[in-house]
Chain A
Amino acid sequence: MFFNSLTFAVFLPIVFVLYWFVFNKNKSSQNLLLILASYYFYSCWDWRFLFLLVFSTFLDYYTGIQIEKNKNEKIRKFWFWLSIGINLGFLGVFKYYNFFASSFATLLSDFGLKTSPFLLDVVLPVGISFYTFHGLSYVIDIYYKRIKAEYNFVDYSLFVSYFPLLVAGPIERATHLLPQVKVKRTFDYEKAKQGAYQFIWGLVKKVVIADTCATYANAIFDNYTQMNSWSLVLGAVYFAFQIYGDFSGYSDMALGMSKLFGMDLLRNFNYPYFSRDIAEFWRRWHISLSSWFRDYLYIPLGGSKGSKMKQVRNVFIIFVVSGFWHGANWTYLAWGFINALYFLPLLVLNKNRSNMEMVQLQWNFASAKEILHIFYTFALACLAWIFFRAKSITDAVLYIKRIFTEGNFSSQYLTNERYNYELLLMIALFVVVEWNYRFKEEPLSGKNSWLKVALAIAAIIALGTYSDYKEFIYFQF
């Protein structure tokens, strides 16, 4: 059940009505309903993995309590590592085992040792990377005594399984979401209205921008050996907007619908393509994951403290791990590594925190420079996205090589029966809208909201892509 499906269009209003009209007595009944709804939502993919979700929830709930209750450091440590080990173990088995097994076999065959590795025939449980990280942050925070353990299993389960964020985030923190789960929610008209606007805008990003860009990006990436330089450049740009529209659209829908239930989720995107350097880009892209890695990996490693060499090491570790989090493929590792390379000069020159505020332009030379920086950062991001999207590192390298060697920058007819340049106007329009509203979470609220909603609805039904349905990219992670 996807957020942009007809079944979800039936599911959401039913849950909304039950939540505010039937299960509205106290926070326990509200939470119970949301848990049941979340488990139903999750079981629509594969009910068997529901057991994994419940087990993972129970594990962290129980170990959290044990860590808090025990004063003996050794026992605390035992429960802590048990939770970390099992959580990462699940992730390792379902997500990374086949990759490591086949990579190891390839390595052995390079040395003349032929092996046929035992590979698991299992699908990746949807959302496992997200709910595992929820649980991990919870247990780590209890171990370091930043938060208290949650003794109410229903409340804790809701923190892990809340359906708006269950399958593709944002990755929540116990410090942010649990306090909201612990109190009865009362209906707030302004918040719900804001949520509805954000949901609609998320839908625009998904079906109008992401899914339309996907048909072009796929036609170009899947046939890159026949594409001219212009098509290849456009392919990278289309993919950049596909993944942005797809993931930030999903996040907007998640944040928007959560507001309908009176709860705020962490903001996941803040107009990343208007960043002036890669450090700023990473403060604006998939914020909940970046901050997770910052708090639970980068800072424990020493963060920006210590020698420059140590800092460089830490940066490479978090970028490569972040790449690997996305999937068990060398292309994701390469993508993380490239981003670390981009980040390196900023770190060495102490410029990684130069652009903390959203860009503001005036009619002067400095602003022209800022625009150039925005284009430059976007170009770097696109170059890295090629590795993210390509089937292999070889494909990515050949793709980039072809951009510079093919030399033909003319229009080209693609396998999706469209010309390569046809989407540019729509993307330009989207960028203009986002630019004008970059200080807000979404562009629909405020002045002339009804006109903007009508235009958004018109865009969804008239410009959306429906026949060539695309799943949310981040569901596979």
Chain B
Amino acid sequence: MKKFLLFILKISIVLVVVAIALDFGFTTIYKQSKNRGKIDYVFNSNARKYDVVILGSSRANNHFVSDLFEKQGLKTFNYGMSGGHLFEADLLLKLMIERKYQIKNVILEADLNLSNDQQSEGVSAKYLPYLHSSETVRKHFENEQDFNELYYIPFYRYLKFETKIGFRDMFKVATNEKTSVLNNKGYYSLGKTKGNMKNNIVNLNPLPHNKYYEEIKALCRANNIHFIAIMTPMCENVTGMNYFDKVHKAYPEIHNYENAVVENKYFSSCGHMNDEGARLFTNVIIHDFFKSKK
């Protein structure tokens, strides 16, 4: 029996050693990644200069056409992340500031995402390879429920989020395979109607003090960045549009643009405009916030 217990102990040691080795290998490779997504594009970068940085969820990613800003001479990048919450947008801005980005304006899509201050696991997983390499990332995650497991158990984060940062993605980073996420300066255009042109947001309520929204606002103030928070459009057939009034009441500084474009022909799905709608909307934003100032 003693021999067997020793055998099990050896297997356990092999398990730990293999996990540590794999963790080290994966992390080393992810630290070289610069072109797979917006998070690694920022994390593994040096100082950049922007006139406009766009943050938010897919409703930022699909709605702000970076090229239209650029045409006005405004160096712009759309850092909106599909499926992302304000948790991830906040951390991205923190990393930009840490890397001494010079940013004049931050446009934050702040509407439906104000209803929660949770992380979006599918998106936040992309930060996890850097958990041990960045104090900023570690601090941002330290109050999360599974922080201890993610931080202290070697390789656990890669195992838990294997579809996002597992072997397949690591392999693609190692072979320098690009994605299209960074094309068009981060803007991702949608085609004609695909999804459901109905939405019910009656049960959605903005949090009175969304922690990450407040952090983004404070970060901008502390770093002399002009902060523009915007509610972006929804399609015609939405039940519970008074959600946006509730947002306005709780956060009066957020600009109401939910009705800037309404016709269904400008939407790909109810919460996401197609390219035509996005261009229309971006022009309105440029006109109201940038041209009028010139």
Contact = CB atoms under 8 A, between A and B. Distances in A.
A462 B160 contact: no
A59 interface: no
Contacts of A38: none
A121 interface: no
Contact of A461 (B10, B155, B161, B168): B155
Interface residues of A, number: 22
Interface string A164-203: 0000000000000000000000010100110010001000
A461 B22 contact: yes
B30 to A, nearest CB: 14
B159 interface: yes
A468 B163 contact: yes
Given A461-B159, A466-B160, A189 B4 contact: yes
A461 B7 contact: no
B122 to A, nearest CB: 9
B4 A462 contact: no
Contacts of A466: 159-160, 162
Nearest to B26: A462
Contacts of B166: 462
B158 interface: yes
Interface in B13-29: 14-15, 17-19, 22
A196 B162 CA distance: 26
Interface string A449-477: 01001100110011111111000000000
Nearest to B155: A461
A293 interface: no
Nearest to A417: B163
A90 interface: no
A461 B4 contact: no
A192 B8 CA distance: 10
A457 B14 contact: yes
A435 to B, nearest CB: 23
A454 B160 CA distance: 20
A463 B167 contact: yes
Interface residues of B, number: 23
B7 A464 contact: no
A40 interface: no
A196 B14 CA distance: 14
B158 A450 contact: no
B71 interface: no
B14 A450 contact: yes
Interface string B237-271: 00000000000000000000000000000000000
B163 A461 contact: no
Output the residue of A189, A462, A465, A467 with the most chain B CB within 10 A: A462
B293 interface: no
Contacts of A23: none
A461 B160 contact: no
A282 interface: no
B162 A465 contact: yes
Nearest to A200: B11
B294 interface: no
A450 B13 CA distance: 11
Given A192-B4, A467-B160, A467-B161, A453 B167 contact: no
Given A453-B11, A468-B163, A458 B18 contact: yes
A292 interface: no
B164 to A, nearest CB: 8
A196 B17 CA distance: 19
Interface string A413-431: 0000010001000000000
A427 to B, nearest CB: 15
A461 B4 CA distance: 23
B7 A193 contact: yes
Contacts of B160: 466-467
Given A461-B19, A462-B22, A453 B14 contact: yes
A454 B12 CA distance: 10
7 nearest interchain CB pairs?
A458-B18, A457-B18, A192-B4, A467-B163, A189-B3, A462-B167, A454-B14
Interface of B: 1, 3-4, 7-8, 10-11, 14-15, 17-19, 22, 155, 158-163, 166-168
16 contacts: A196-B7, A196-B8, A422-B168, A453-B14, A454-B17, A454-B18, A457-B14, A461-B18, A461-B155, A462-B22, A462-B155, A462-B158, A464-B162, A466-B159, A467-B162, A467-B163
